[in-house]
Every structure is written in C-alpha cells, then in structure tokens.
Amino acid sequence: MAVAAPRLAGQDAEYLAHALFMFKAGTRASSIMQPVARTLSDADMQAVAGYFAAQHPPVVAQEQPQGDEARAGAQLAQFGDGTGVAACFSCHAAGGRGNGARFPSIAGQPASFTVARLHEFQARAAQGGAKPGTMTAVAAHLSEAQIVDAAAYLSTLPR
C-alpha cells in the first residue's frame, strides 16, 4: 500500500495552524513538513490554515471495505473495541469529522495515510512515555488488523 498524503481540504483551521506550529517548533516530526513550516511566519501559517480549511474536499471514489473488514472498522470507529480502546469518534466527533485544534477530521482520509499515521503513533509509544488518553496511548493497543480495518472504513466516510 503506497502512503498517501493527508487530505487537508476542509480540515479545521485551528488544527492545521497548530500542526504547522508544531512542525516549525520540531515537536511534530515530518521530513516533508518541517522544512516548509520553518520558512513560514505565524501570519503565513494562519493564512495557509485558513486557505485549506475553506476548501471543499472533493468526493473521491474509494474501494469500499467488504464483510468483516467493514464491520470491524465501523465497530472500532463508532464503539471502540470493548477492551479499553476508545471509539475513534469519541474524540474525533461523530462521523470522524473533527473536533477543534486537537482532534482533526479523520473522515475521508486515504487509508494508506491513516495506517501510516497510526504506525507513527505506535512507534512513538514504543519509545515510552505515552500519556493516557493520547492518540499515542490508543495506538499502542491497536492490532494491525484493527488499524487496517479502521483506516479502510474511515476512508469511505464523507468529510
């Protein structure tokens, strides 16, 4: 599965600006975004965030998850796994549409991006220090099947 870039169109402006500030400060790693963010002023970051937030995400044809994958992904996103992994929507809001500066929209993100991002959180958790209630702590408890199922399901949701 090739890693896709995130879909930024329609993402919350506060979230985007916060992410850019973190890339610039070096507290969020990305070999692509850190060099870009370092060249931006605070006003530039706000303008870029506002621009992308105002865009309307295109409807992209996605391969629909089938059978068990669809059911498992929907279950995890809506209700969690029943053993301590919270529902995606408990933080990222109904339908995964996002909830302010800290909880981005996860609806309609390419599955390959979501899988890669969750793997990044797992790698961070493996280094220690995952604070309870953070995405790093949640990802630490996800199996590979759960990651793939949730990513496939979330990729089909409208933004």
Count of domains forming the chain? 2
Both 151 and 124 in a single domain? Answer: yes
Res 1 pLDDT > 60: no
- Residue (of 10, 92, 101, 96) closest to 50 by Cα position: 10
Q: For residue 83, tell me if it sits in a domain.
A: yes
Q: Which of 158, 159, 157 is nearest to 73 (CA)?
A: 157
Claim to verify: residue 49 and residue 76 sit in the same structural domain: no
pLDDT tens for 138-158 read 999 999 999 999 999 999 898
Q: Is residue 21 part of a domain?
A: yes
Domain that holds residue 79: 67-155
Q: How confident is the model at residue 61 (pLDDT cuts 50, 70, 90)?
A: low
pLDDT at 41: 98
- Global confidence as pTM: 0.89
